[in-house]
Structure formats: structure tokens, C-alpha cells
A and B are shown apart, each in its own frame.
Chain A
Amino acid sequence: MTVATNQTILVVGGGISGMTAALEAAETGKHVVLVEKNPYLGGRTAQLYRYFPKMCHPTCGLEINLRRLKANPRIQVLTMAEVTGISGTKGDYTVNLKTNPRFVNENCTACGECAKAVTGEVDDAFNYNLGKIKVAYLPHAMAYPQRYVLDPAILGTPDADKAKAACKYNAIDLEQKEETVSLKAGAIVWATGWQPYDAEKLTPYRYGEFPNVITNVEFERLADPHGPTGGKILRPSDGKEAKNIAFIQCAGSRDENHLRHCSRFCCMGSLKQTHYVQEAYGDEGKSTIYYIDIRAIDRFEDFYAKVKANPNVSFVKSKVARISEDKDGNPVCWGVNTEGYVRYSNPHDLVVLAVGMQPSVKGVDIPAEVMADSSGFIMADPANAGIFGAGCATNALDVNRAVQSATAAALRAIQVVNKVARAEA
């Protein structure tokens, strides 16, 4: 049972921004409800292999936040839940939530017997559908809550009974249904994050048609030891080691036909990913970055300079115009190099499209007081009541800046509930 009052801060989205906003608010003594659509917290940050610029693992940063979260009784986490509507005003919102069934209750110890028992498989969303996962699964190794999930596809199959029989703790509950809940909240932090831009819309790059053209988020999963290839950089078509990799910048970003804005993180993302190639294959691993201009802002310039000094990484100042495929299944990049205006057609083992950030604020009834810019990001609005954007729902940001943005949103939300508290005292 979720207890919430009009002094509660509701945080929508449990990625790095939502977790940060929830923790910052709760650690000042506020009551927080954190709503997450997925069965686990961490969002897209959990799906990264490493962070730039320090090249450390996101599991580390997430682990710190999860410890803070577990230690804090003032945060209630609702996973597999979505906001379906908001009504009311600042200091007095009513929020409608829909929770999807996990079919696994709190008894789960994550022993994994149910997954061993079942045979059915579904697409592995955590790995951007690059592989398959059992119908009874733990979303990823670090998942919080550390509880298994049954995919709805299991219902009515023999796997359902097998999973139930395999569970020693009576944790499988096939009777769970979708539920709707209504909550009170004084302030709302909207931290629904981002989606990678749909690469199939970039028709000259033939994503979805050529198996060896993938996106930057998929490449993160390929490099991750917990990913579908166990951390080996193998290309999808034939499982060959991909040693000659092209990175295409501004795939969708800075384009009036796609995303108008610069997504900011993709230059650094690709520079970081050249490290993965170098690490995996040493001097045999070659990376080529096709770019319009590298936007490694402020202190990231050093990182850029280091990558540039690596003889295994080359830079071509040109946005690739189209990709074709040669008889060996190698994607071939076509274009004209702006430095010298030389025409090129370069075959690579694998092409990684550095797709941009699209705000995922669509499909939800956010009240009209929330303003959005021409790209759909939530804008800071001085006349706004008690709903604040945080992280990538407000702008294209890297993890570091998303955390800053979330802290700012938490501060604003705290001020709203403080006013409510004073009025009621």
C-alpha cells in the first residue's frame, strides 16, 4: 500500500535523473514516491558499458545510489508502473498510476530456479533486442529490485506451471493483474529520460536492412561483458570480429528533417567507444569517426585530444551520405571529405550510428502548464506550478549534467512541499 499526501514528491522515471531527484529530496526529509516503467531502476545508464570521461563502469555509480535508496525509508519505489493522468494544482495533485503485473512477489530471492525450469524465450529488451532472454528472467545482473520477472507471454503455457513448481519460496503469483492506483502529491519531478532516435528513419543508412549497421546504444551492449556477446565485439551478420569500425556522428541530430537539436553526448560517446575497440583488439582495432564537427565541450577536450593522438583512430570530416553493402556483407560508407573535397567509399566491418536523444515525454497526459521546446524537451517555466522536468526530459544531457539537472529539480520540488507544510502548520 502506497501512502502519499500533498507533502509527497512524486518522481516519474527511475533512471539516473529520477533516482537522483528522489534521493536528494528524501535525504532532506521529504517523502518521495518513485515511479518506474521498467521492472528495474537505473534506466539507460544501467545499459551503458562505461562512462566517459573516466571510463568507469555505471554499475559503480548506480550501486552508490542504490545503497542510498535502500537506506532511506522515505522513498517508496513502484516499478512496472506508469503515470496515466495528473489532475489538480501545485501542492494538491492527484496522480493516476497503472501498474503492470510482475507475476513474482516479494518472496523472490533471485535464486534463478524459475529461469532454469522454463524453456520459452522472448526478445531481450535490456540488450536492445540483440539477443533472447528466458520468459522468466532477471532484467540484468544489478537489477533493483533484485527480483525475477515473468514475461506475460508465459501465461497459459506449460512454462507457467514449470516456473511455479520450480519456485521454493512461493514467489510466483500468476493471478496478478494490472492495477490502477491514485496518489496524492504536492510536487512532481518529471524525469522520463530519452529514447534513441529511430535509426530506420535515416533511410540512406539502411539500418534494419543491413545487419552490420547498428546504433551506439547497441554497441554499448556488444562491448559489455553482460551483453549478448559476452563483451566480444562481434558483428551481427556472421559473428566475425569487427576490427574496422566506422562511427557516424549526427545520425539524426542537428538535422531539420529529424532531430533539430544537437544531442551533445554522441561525440563523447563515440570517442569513448573507440576505447572499447582499442581495448578489445589492440593495434588491430581500427576506428574511423565521420563527423561534421566534434563537440567535446569544455573539460572533455582533453579526452578528445587523447583519442586524436591514438594512431588507430582516424577522423574524417564528412557526414556520410549513404551506406551500401559489398559482396562480403561489409557496409561501405560513401561521401565527400570536406577537407580537400575528396570523394570516398570506405568498406568497414561494422558501422555504428551515433543516434541522438529524443525526449520520451510523449503519450502521457502532462498538464498544459508544462512547456516544451521545438524538440519536445520540457522547458523551465517561471509561471509553472509544481511540475519540474529533470535530466534528459528537459534537454539532451550526459549522465553528469543529468544529475545536476535532477538535483536542481529536487530543490524546486522541495520548496513547493515546504510551502504546503507551512500552510498546514
Chain B
Amino acid sequence: MSDMNQQMTARYKNNFLKEIEEQAEMGDWVKMCMQCGVCSGSCPTNFHGGWDHPPQELFMMIRAGKRDEVLSSNSMWQCVSCYNCYVRCPRKVPITHVMHGLAEYAYRLGRAPKMQPTLHLSQTFWNNATKYGRVNEVKLTQSLYFKDGIGSGIKKALEMQSMALGLVKAKRLNPMEAIGGGHKCKDLKGIHAMLAKARELEAKRKGRQPA
């Protein structure tokens, strides 16, 4: 991963804005920001979670070429995807999507914070969904519960016991998924082939090695 970081640093030298435009999803919207601040003011988190930088500051930092500060910022990982900023932005910048794009790019470069809960959830969900072709809910829940060790995992599972039983009763959760039963995808090989092709096309479009 740090290879890619070095490769991109060399390729874009002092043009971090261009790097974001070409490499991060929706990054080409960053230049449209006019620094009015409605996005930050509309954020329901009120930055209580300890945001390093509100969105408009992050956008300005990208334009100012502050590569290290942006990529190591925790802001894009704090976004709760409420879409308030996107809806209210006077320039129609898809801020929520830009934040996701920045997070994804930082992750690819190996710059994501360690054990960040948002990252952990996304990663677990993605691995789970791509492995089985559809989400295996029992296994997904298990890996989230036991994230911080066996003790806290059992505690969480017991807390949620009655909801789980209710979901089983309502046929919203199939316990057979724990042992490889339950919902299945019809053509798992086909899905994997599609994902490989998508990765190849994306790498080609962005001019980099397939991940």
C-alpha cells in the first residue's frame, strides 16, 4: 500500500488537487466549492466526535496541496451519510460522496486510521458481501460483535438476544447462515468475475495497477 502512496506522490508531485480529481471518487467536484460553509453548519454531528476538519476546510486544504494533513485527517471517517450537506450545498457538490471518495482513497494509500470503526464496518461488510455474493447476516453480525474480543462479543450478543429471536421469528434472519446454509447467491463465480472486471476497468481509468 505504501508503494502506491509513493507512486502517486511521484506522479502528481505538487498537484494534490489533480490527484484527488483523478484518483478519488467524485474528487472532480472539489474545485466547485465556494467556501460558504453551509455544509459544515448543516452537519448533524456538530463535530462532537472530534472532527479534525469540517468539509469546507478539507476542500480548501486539498486545493492548498496539504496532502499529508488531508489523507491523515479523521473527518471523512466521521461522516454519518445523512446527506444534509449535499442537499443544501448551493453549488450542488455531492459532499457526502466526496467524503466517501476521500476515505476510500486514503484507505487505498494505506493512510486510513487503524481500528477506525467506520472503516472496520465497511471492510467487514465488503468482504462478507463479495465472498458470499450476498451479505451473510449472521456472520457479519458475529464479526462486528467480536471486534473487541470474546468477552465484549458475548455481552453484546446477550444484549441483542431478544431482537435476534424476534428477527428469526419474523423470518428476517436465518440462523442456518452460521453453518453455510440460508440465502445463497445463484452464480458466485459470475459475481467474482464481474468484480474482477470492474476492478480492472477502474484501474485502467485511473492509470494504476489493479488492486
Contact = CB atoms under 8 A, between A and B. Distances in A.
Interface stretch (A37-45, A51-59, A130-138, A251-259): A251-259
Contacts of B35: 292, 338
Tier of interface size on chain A: 20 to 34
Given A292-B34, A318-B36, A341-B54, A334 B90 contact: no
Nearest to B34: A292
Contacts of B46: 343
A257 B92 contact: yes
Interface stretch (B22-30, B37-45, B183-191): B37-45
A335 B41 contact: yes
Given A320-B41, A321-B40, A204 B90 contact: no
Contacts of B56: 336, 338, 341
Contacts of A338: 35-37, 56
Contacts of A322: 41-42
B105 interface: no
A321 B42 contact: yes
B97 interface: no
Contacts of B90: 250, 254-258, 319
B38 A321 contact: yes
A259 to B, nearest CB: 10
A341 B53 contact: yes
Interface string B121-161: 00000000000000000000000000000000000000000
A259 B91 CA distance: 11
Interface residues of B, number: 18
A318 B54 CA distance: 13
A337 interface: yes
Contact of B37 (A256, A257, A258, A319): A319
Nearest to A254: B90
B92 A292 contact: no
Interface in A244-295: 250, 254-258, 292
B11 to A, nearest CB: 30
A336 B53 contact: no
Interface string B32-64: 001111101110001100000110110000000
Contacts of A335: 37-38, 40-41
A221 to B, nearest CB: 28
Nearest to B90: A255
B192 interface: no
Nearest to B60: A338
Closest 7 CB pairs of A and B: A321-B41, A335-B41, A336-B40, A255-B90, A319-B36, A318-B37, A292-B36
Interface of A: 204, 250, 254-258, 292, 317-322, 334-338, 341, 343
Interface of B: 34-38, 40-42, 46-47, 53-54, 56-57, 88, 90-92
6 contacts: A257-B90, A257-B92, A319-B36, A321-B88, A336-B56, A343-B47
